[in-house]
Structure 1
């Protein structure tokens, strides 16, 4: 694990402390698709640092591994992920490794108990093969947004998507070109997007299998949209 990748994971973990001061209620209510412990919710504010689950749905998780597995399938798009054991951070947070197969690259899903009911929320995801340096965590984006980092992927292509808060729909798509065949190299590009109705959102970067088009790995970063 590189120093840069380790610092990125630490930044995602620290961001969870902003959850209660930066809360925002989205106006989109997408479907939910995975098994979980559920509770009845009314008008609940989405924690600012949380991508999953969506607060305005009843989906909640009493187990961090279940939360990570649900996120990997429903949000990141993995088809049949191999989900590892929960790795404890502090008393209310940690991470869960996810792979597309038993030998696939690791996507680290960061989870935390953010609310009074002690349910688990997903803060983001990171993989050593897609390391985002620009934008920064919680950066305020305008269109077109600049993307920088380092990556490696089949034929060098990393697919990019921007989403609004509490939504699986893309408001912008594109790709960047970095390294290939296991060799990390810098990428730089831009992504244009339509105006978001939400303050918060997600920058999602993924690579796909050349064999069947399935998701191999992903980095997901919490961002903001400029008003």
Structure 2
């Protein structure tokens, strides 16, 4: 259920770790609402399977999200911030291991990405998004097509803010029907 009116902003040290929704704009007073909005609206899963909330402490936890008919879990991390609303602070999957950028890293165009991945035909789409979730730049980056994780690296040019918060979003798609299969999202700060 949404809260009545979110605060206009979060402290910079909290905002730097937010992926979804925009810092200070959350209307989610329960973690499940934030994850559902992230999975379907932000990431683009179609009819995902979402686990029960796995609470870490009083203000954080995670959910497992799986594409309909899929078998790869995306773990979505949530946190209740100082405005008493819930936010997604990142997502991870065993088949996309992001080494760069680090969470809350200050970035500029082109964004350098590095890590390891396993995806259909090795194809990982990397997007740079602003705090509203708008795609500022996007490029395919090649990882491994199987059977093991392989090196992933590249640069993603983007047009966007000189300051503020956003995310680097790593997406892979199903060989079966082309639908979204997994997503790793890392919060970044434009600078």
What TM-score do the two structures reach when normalised by structure 2? Answer: 0.89
1:87 is aligned to 2:54: yes
1:53 is aligned to 2:17: no
Q: Residues 133 and 166 of structure 2 are in contact (CA less than 8 Å); yes or no, is this contact kept in structure 1?
A: no
Write the distance in 2 (CA, Å) between the matches of 1:66 and 1:114: 15
TM-aligned CA distance change 1:86 to 1:102, over 3 Å: farther
Q: Residues 105 and 217 of structure 1 are in contact (CA less than 8 Å); yes or no, is this contact kept in structure 2?
A: yes
Tell which has more relative contact order, 1 or 2 (C-alpha 8 A, sep 6+): 2
Query: Which position in structure 2 is the counterpart of 1:44?
Result: 8
Give 1:52 shift. 1.9
Write the distance in 2 (CA, Å) between the matches of 1:69 and 1:200: 21
Aligned residues: 187
Give 1:209 shift. 1.9
Structure in which a larger fraction of residues adopt strand:
2
Write the distance in 1 (CA, Å) between the matches of 2:58 and 2:69: 29
1:111 is aligned to 2:111: no
Aligned Cα root-mean-square deviation (Å):
1.9
Where does 1:1-227 land on structure 2 (aligned, <5 Å)? 36-41=1-6, 44-46=8-10, 47-48=14-15, 49-55=17-23, 57=25, 60-117=27-84, 119-165=85-131, 167-196=132-161, 198-226=163-191
Give 1:145 shift. 2.0
Write the distance in 2 (CA, Å) between the matches of 1:155 and 1:204: 19
Q: Which whole-Å deviations, capped at 9, do the CAs of 1:155-202 have from their partners, x for residues lacking one?
A: 00000100112x221111101111123421111111111131542110
Write the distance in 1 (CA, Å) between the matches of 2:30 and 2:58: 14
What TM-score do the two structures reach when normalised by structure 1? Answer: 0.76
Q: Which whole-Å deviations, capped at 9, do the CAs of 1:32-78 have from their partners, x for residues lacking one?
A: xxxx424234x611441222223565x52222223212211111111
**Structure 2 unmatched ranges of 5 or more:** none
